[in-house]
Amino acid sequence: MSANRKGDRRERELVNELDAAGFAVMRAPASGSATERDLPDVLAGDGDRFFAIEAKSSAGDPIYLSGEEVESLIYFARNFGANARIAVRFDREDWYFFHPGDCHVTDGGNYRVKKETALADGEDLAGLVGHSTQARLDDA
C-alpha cells in the first residue's frame, strides 16, 4: 500500500473517531502538497473546542514534520480560532496529540515525535475531547 493511501486511510480513521466522540469533523479536501493554502489535515469542533490537526502516522520510525508544515498549521489555527494539534499514530497504537510547542525541534528546524514519546507524553483521544483525564504510571 502506498504511503499516501495509508495516510489517507489513517486520516479517515481519525475523522471517524472524532465524529464518534461527538465532534463535527472533516478532512481538508486539499491539505498537504495538493494546494498552496495553509490547510490542516483535519478540522474538528464541538461548539466549545475547535481543533486544526496535522495528522501523521508511522510503522514505528519517528515521525517528522517540516518546520513549514507546523508553521502553516499554527498560522491556520490562529486565523481560524482553533487549537493547533499534531496527531500521531504508530502501527498497533492509538492516536496521540501534541501541541506544536510540546514537540521536539531538531537542529534543522523540523519537528519530531518518537513512538516512546507519544506513548509516555501524548494526550489520548479521550483527553483531547474532554471525556477523561489520562493518568500515567509515574504520576501515581
Domains and CATH numbers, the chain: 3-139 (3.40.1350.10)
Of the pLDDT bands very low, low, confident and very high (cuts 50, 70, 90), residue 130 is: confident
Q: Is 138 annotated as a binding residue?
A: no
First to last CA, the chain: 41
The arithmetic mean of pLDDT across residues 118-135, rounded, is: 84
Q: How many Å apart are CA 61 and CA 81, to the nearest integer?
A: 32
Q: How confident is the model at residue 136 (pLDDT cuts 50, 70, 90)?
A: low
What's the length of the chain? 140
Q: What is the DSSP letter of 129?
A: T
Scanning the structure block, which residue is given the C-alpha cell 515521525?
63
CA distance 69 to 45: 21
Lowest-pLDDT choice from 6-15, 39-48, 52-61? 6-15
Q: Determine if residue 11 is labeled as part of a ligand binding site.
A: yes
**Res. 133: pLDDT tops 70:** no
Q: Decide if 62 contacts 113 (C-beta within 8 A).
A: yes
Residue 41, annotated ligand binder?
yes
Q: What amino acid positions are annotated as catalytic residues?
A: 31
Question: pTM for this one?
Answer: 0.86
